Chains A and B, each alone.
Chain A
Amino acid sequence: MKIKTKLKSYNSPTFLAYALIAPAAIYILCIIAWPLVETIRLSFTNSSLAGEEYVGFQNYEKMLSSKKFNKIVIRTFVWMFFSVSFKLVIGLIGAVLLNANVFGRSAFRVLVMPPWVVPIAIGMLGWLWLYNGYFGIIAGVGMRTGILDGPFGFLAYKQSAFISTVISDVWVGTPMVTVFFLAAMQGVPKDLYEAAYCDGASRWARFYKITLPQITPVIITMSLLSAIWTFNSFEIIWILTEGGPRGATTTLIIDTYKIALGNYKFGRAAARAVVVIILLSLFAGFYFALLAKINKKVSNE
């Protein structure tokens, strides 16, 4: 009995528990939580390098009534939609291929990861060269095969720049999606497949009826997570196009950054950042609701 009470004091010392967490918590409060609150306050001022004054909802009124801003919001979602869809589809196909029991698959599983690990800023240098209209390999192959009649700068035209940034973003995001899908596929109980095989189910039927339903929770989680990351994506567009040509690749994040650290109009930029924060909170809300649902389902089973 004595040992039990002693152990209880060892296992649930509330003060110690909080004390151990405190440094990390305080750090995050200072560097992330406080700036979040400060962003909201700044959005009601005309803050710049010169100083700041309270201006009420002026920043919001200007922002919401500008046609350009509405266009940017729509563009952000279109960009996100294409990017996330391609990441999921290519990631799923990649995971199926790397899950196939063929020679060399463990090597392929490692080779898929570099875009995820390498600093985005450096990976994008490679893409800058690839998209070069005269000397990049894409234009080169295009000209040699006759698909292109002449040099074509992929980042110089509105539509092709938009597509190019999506492709590069898919390139950065696909490895992680692939790795998570692969991990989920390996977690599917083997006896399910064996039973289906004995019943004469084809490969496709086994994928469609077993693999896909079994990894659905991971697919949904990953789509939300990659939606959040894509929404936040800054470096890829910034390095490839800086939001150009003529604003064709300016997403919310790029717009916010330009106004904040390009023009030092902190107040106006903060109003845009608040829109970003609200949208992100909505995504986060969905994500947690979903996690709770999945956890409940798992614990019921």
Chain B
Amino acid sequence: MNKYNISEKIFIYFGILIFMTFILLPFIEMFYASLRPLDHLFRSPYQFFSNDLSFWAYKEMWNTVPMLGRYIFNSFFLATCVAILTLLFVIPAAYSYARFSFPGKNPSLYLLLAVNMFAGAVLLIPLYKVLRTLGLLNTYQAMIVPGVAFLIPTSIWLLKSYFEKIPIELEEAAFVDGATRLQILRHVIAPLSTPGLVVVGIYAFIGAYAQQFLFAISFNHVKEYMPIPAGLYEFIGYQTIKWNEMMAASLVGIAPVLIVFIFLQKYIVEGLTAGAVKN
């Protein structure tokens, strides 16, 4: 029943080709532009092929924007801080939601979902004022503090479903045998939930990496703290925009996230879509 004849197969592959072209076209174009010399990019009429493609832009970009390395470091640093802080807040909360029943449990879980809907852009005004009063504008914290808040809700939902998979009988058995809560946490829960923690941590890292731009352009004007998505716009400041180098730098900037994601995509997608598949 799942066999296709030749014409059906051609039809399917043709459809996939068009779909994938739409999805991957910007990346292909970015990569191709990064290989072409600048004067070829600006050649009219439009040229598809040129025979002097090179990786020159990947070397030159570090000279054009001397802070590029710093921007990439900033992005990593910010995303790592956000991911770790998110985990610290989320682990106890998710455990509590997964294991205990208490008044107000379900309403507060749904409230968390609702919080998710108010993305950063709406709340910028009071956030700006808060950060200004605390003297945090133009610091790393200006991008970390709001970043953590917007990742907590989804992370709690994700991690809760991982904790729920650990059989409660294991904990009960240890408890009956006289283990304290802390011992149970260390010897039963921690080892069993490590894979879940890794997935949620990666999810938070990718989310933090993606949302840096808005907080960076709104709350930070100091070059030294800029993350790469915002730092890339420095290329536009030159008289002629060095598109080939900007595209090269963009690809270098997204490579780490993409690599991490490709290795773990199975687990992340499983976790995120769990709710959709259940029914």
What CA separation (Å) do A110 and B63 show in the bound complex? Answer: 34
> B122 to A118, Cβ gap below 8 A?
no
B204 at the interface (CB under 8 A from A): no
> B23 to A175, Cβ gap below 8 A?
yes
Q: In the complex, what's the smallest C-beta–C-beta distance from A40 to chain B, in angstroms? A: 10
- Chain B contacts of A269 at CB under 8 A? 125
Binds A, one of B50-58, B126-134, B186-194: B126-134
Instruction: Tally chain A residues at the interface, Cβ within 8 Å.
Output: 103
What CA separation (Å) do A24 and B42 show in the bound complex? Answer: 52
> A23 to B261, Cβ gap below 8 A?
no
- Chain A contacts of B171 at CB under 8 A? 10
A134 at the interface (CB under 8 A from B): yes
> B16 to A97, Cβ gap below 8 A?
yes
B7 at the interface (CB under 8 A from A): no
> B232 to A6, Cβ gap below 8 A?
no
> B101 to A28, Cβ gap below 8 A?
no
> B12 to A102, Cβ gap below 8 A?
yes
> B26 to A113, Cβ gap below 8 A?
no
- Chain B contacts of A280 at CB under 8 A? 117-118, 122
- Chain A contacts of B258 at CB under 8 A? 114, 117-118
A277 at the interface (CB under 8 A from B): yes
> A114 to B15, Cβ gap below 8 A?
no
Which residues from 14 to 41 on chain A have a C-beta closer than 8 Å to any C-beta of chain B?
14, 16-18, 20-21, 23-25, 27-28, 30-36, 38-39
- The interface residues of chain A, by DSSP majority, are classed as helix
Pick the contact of A125: B25, B112, B232 (CB < 8 A): B232
- Chain B contacts of A127 at CB under 8 A? 26
Pick the contact of B102: A12, A118, A253 (CB < 8 A): A12
Which residues from 120 to 152 on chain B have a C-beta closer than 8 Å to any C-beta of chain A?
120-130, 145-146, 148-150, 152
> B156 to A24, Cβ gap below 8 A?
yes
A94 at the interface (CB under 8 A from B): yes
A93 at the interface (CB under 8 A from B): yes
Q: In the complex, what's the smallest C-beta–C-beta distance from B144 to chain A, in angstroms? A: 11
- Chain B contacts of A298 at CB under 8 A? 279
Quick one: given A16-B100, A27-B89, are A120 and B210 in contact (CB under 8 Å)?
yes
Pick the contact of B23: A33, A112, A122 (CB < 8 A): A112
Q: In the complex, what's the smallest C-beta–C-beta distance from B217 to chain A, in angstroms? A: 8
> A266 to B129, Cβ gap below 8 A?
yes
Q: In the complex, what's the smallest C-beta–C-beta distance from A30 to chain B, in angstroms? A: 8
What CA separation (Å) do A288 and B168 show in the bound complex? Answer: 29
> B12 to A235, Cβ gap below 8 A?
no
Q: In the complex, what's the smallest C-beta–C-beta distance from B162 to chain A, in angstroms? A: 16
Which residues from 51 to 71 on chain B have a C-beta closer than 8 Å to any C-beta of chain A?
none
What CA separation (Å) do A294 and B213 show in the bound complex? Answer: 36
Which residues from 199 to 221 on chain B have a C-beta closer than 8 Å to any C-beta of chain A?
206, 209-210, 212-214, 218
- Chain A contacts of B100 at CB under 8 A? 11-14, 16-17
A123-148 Cβ-contact flags toward B at 8 Å (1 or 0): 10111011000111101110110000
Q: In the complex, what's the smallest C-beta–C-beta distance from A292 to chain B, in angstroms? A: 9
> B257 to A118, Cβ gap below 8 A?
yes
What CA separation (Å) do A221 and B213 show in the bound complex? Answer: 28
Q: List 14 additional A-B contacts (Cβ < 8 Å) besides A17-B100, A127-B26, A129-B30.
A: A17-B102, A23-B88, A25-B93, A35-B130, A101-B2, A110-B265, A114-B258, A122-B228, A126-B29, A130-B29, A140-B45, A144-B45, A183-B277, A217-B279
14 examples of A-B residue contacts, CB within 8 angstroms: A3-B176, A11-B100, A24-B156, A27-B89, A35-B125, A100-B12, A102-B13, A110-B262, A113-B261, A119-B257, A122-B232, A232-B117, A234-B119, A287-B117
Measuring CB to CB, which residues of chain B are less than 8 angstroms from any residue of chain A? 1-2, 4, 9, 12-13, 15-16, 19-20, 22-27, 29-30, 33, 41-48, 88-90, 92-93, 95-97, 99-103, 108, 110, 112-115, 117-130, 145-146, 148-150, 152-153, 156, 168, 171-172, 175-176, 181, 206, 209-210, 212-214, 218, 228-230, 232, 243, 246-247, 250, 253-254, 257-258, 261-262, 265, 269, 272-273, 276-279
